[in-house]
Amino acid sequence: MGLTLLVIVRSYGVIWTDKYSLIVAISIGVFLFVAGVQRIYTDSNALSLGRRAAKVCYIWLLVVMGLLLFGYATKTSAEYSRLTLFTWFVITPILLILWHAVLLRLQSELYKRGWNVRRVAIAGARDLGKQVAYSMLNSHNMGMKPVGFYDDRKTNGPRPLVHDPLPIVGTMEDLVRAAREGDIDVVFIALPMRAEERIKMLVSKLSDTTASVYIVPDFFMFDLLSARWGNIGGLPVVSIYDTPFYGIDGWLKRSFDVVMASAILVLIALPMLFIAAAIKLTSPGPVLFKQRRYGINGEMIEVYKFRSMTVTEDGDEVRQATKGDARVTKLGAFLRRTSMDELPQFFNVLLGTMSIVGPRPHAVSHNEEYRGLINGYMLRHKVKPGITGLAQVNGWRGETDTLEKMQKRIEYDLEYINRWSVWLDAKIVLKTITHGFVGKNAY
């Protein structure tokens, strides 16, 4: 980072001062701290180049935001060359990604030549063990070579099972013996949780070896939602269903929402006034339609929309708009088709009840109906509802006249929660702007 800034400063003919040394020191400190939290180096063997690049960009964005905040707080931003810093902000993540690409390539070549490759045994030839094996066989940069399964269910010698990625090479006693003799470097215990006594016995015997031992609990076979390790009073725990917006990620998400919503409201203020006037002139009733919906953690919120119908339904039964629906006004049909009826929801974003990107909020009556029909439906409320979302930009917008359509929308909602990043939000916003406003299923 420092060398890159020095080259840029010299190329622009700017004089290097201690202030540039200061921001380099701050940048390196913040980058290394956040990189440690994100485990970009400790988990490097398990990260593809794409995931590394995403993490590097995410961390660098935090560094840039920190530097801008520092300059604003100390009133020293005018003392730096804006062109120099802008160039540095753009070039640095590119160089960091290229550096990681070189390291990844070098690491892969060394592994292919057998350098620092660890021999791995998998205890348990069940589905979970097979999943562990496939993960290692499909990842070429982990530096691990699985030698086979060890399982007491097969005692008649090593022979592969049908469709298994590796052969069963012995029993649990054979595994302990191989580990003691130094033939095994790493052991993954992939036994079911009900086999507690067998796991304890195996772990106890492996303590007399130098092998690294990992337990893969079979609850990882569940459909996890933003799962992560944590601790309560020093006791390790793992979340099964959780929100991704804790700590700095929550702050970053909220900052993105406030900045984007404020900028968008400035741009659309005049068009919103024209729309409000047109609604008032073309049909009787209020300009805004407020409907009760579920927000984060299932809390009740009021969502604002431009009124597009002759009715304002918000009771125990809300009928979705269908093609040619007589309740929709002529102006309302245009507003709904172009999503302009949802523009007032940017005020919801500023109020903190909604986000720009997230699962679309459904009417309360629809929530109560579908939560009993679709497994995991309420998990979409682990985050704030959004004006646009992953489901909408993938074509699942508008009427959900079949259960399958709603199931597909929920699949995308949960995928969004699991995959969330600032870059995914930016991608969804960009896709919404380019071709997400108009939908053939929006009536």
Q: Could you tell me if residue 74 is inside a domain?
A: yes
Judgement on whether residues 405 and 302 belong to the same structural domain of the protein? yes
- The CATH number of the domain holding residue 169 is 3.40.50.720
What is the average per-residue pLDDT within 231-246? 71
pLDDT band of residue 160 (cuts 50, 70, 90) is very low
Judgement on whether residues 130 and 215 belong to the same structural domain of the protein? yes
Judgement on whether residues 396 and 271 belong to the same structural domain of the protein? yes
What is the average per-residue pLDDT within 4-8? 83
- Indicate the range of 207-216, 249-258, 432-441 predicted with least confidence: 432-441
- The answer to whether residue 254 scores a pLDDT higher than 60 is yes
What percent of the chain has a predicted confidence (pLDDT) above 90? 10
- The answer to whether residue 440 scores a pLDDT higher than 70 is no
Q: How far apart are CA 66 and CA 72, in angstroms?
A: 10
Selection from 32, 33, 10 nearest residue 20 by Cα: 10
What percent of the chain has a predicted confidence (pLDDT) above 70? 79
Q: Could you tell me if residue 441 is inside a domain?
A: no
What is the average per-residue pLDDT within 372-400? 84
Q: Could you tell me if residue 417 is inside a domain?
A: yes
Judgement on whether residues 211 and 290 belong to the same structural domain of the protein? no
Last residue of a domain, one of 56, 88, 112: 112
Judgement on whether residues 9 and 77 belong to the same structural domain of the protein? yes
Q: Could you tell me if residue 187 is inside a domain?
A: yes
Judgement on whether residues 156 and 178 belong to the same structural domain of the protein? yes
pLDDT in tens, 21-76: 888 888 888 888 777 766 666 555 556 667 777 778 878 888 888 888 888 788 88
Judgement on whether residues 179 and 278 belong to the same structural domain of the protein? no
What is the pTM assigned to this prediction? Answer: 0.63
Q: Could you tell me if residue 134 is inside a domain?
A: yes
Judgement on whether residues 206 and 323 belong to the same structural domain of the protein? no
pLDDT band of residue 321 (cuts 50, 70, 90) is low
Last residue of a domain, one of 81, 112, 143: 112
Judgement on whether residues 181 and 260 belong to the same structural domain of the protein? no
Judgement on whether residues 12 and 90 belong to the same structural domain of the protein? yes
Judgement on whether residues 265 and 413 belong to the same structural domain of the protein? yes
What is the average per-residue pLDDT within 252-266? 89
Q: Could you tell me if residue 419 is inside a domain?
A: yes
- The answer to whether residue 394 scores a pLDDT higher than 50 is yes
pLDDT in tens, 181-227: 888 888 988 888 788 888 889 988 888 888 888 888 776 555 666 66
Judgement on whether residues 161 and 213 belong to the same structural domain of the protein? yes
Q: Could you tell me if residue 237 is inside a domain?
A: no
Number of domains in the chain: 3
Q: Could you tell me if residue 233 is inside a domain?
A: no
Last residue of a domain, one of 112, 145, 166: 112
- The answer to whether residue 350 scores a pLDDT higher than 90 is yes
- The answer to whether residue 442 scores a pLDDT higher than 70 is no
**Domain range spanning residue 131?**
118-221
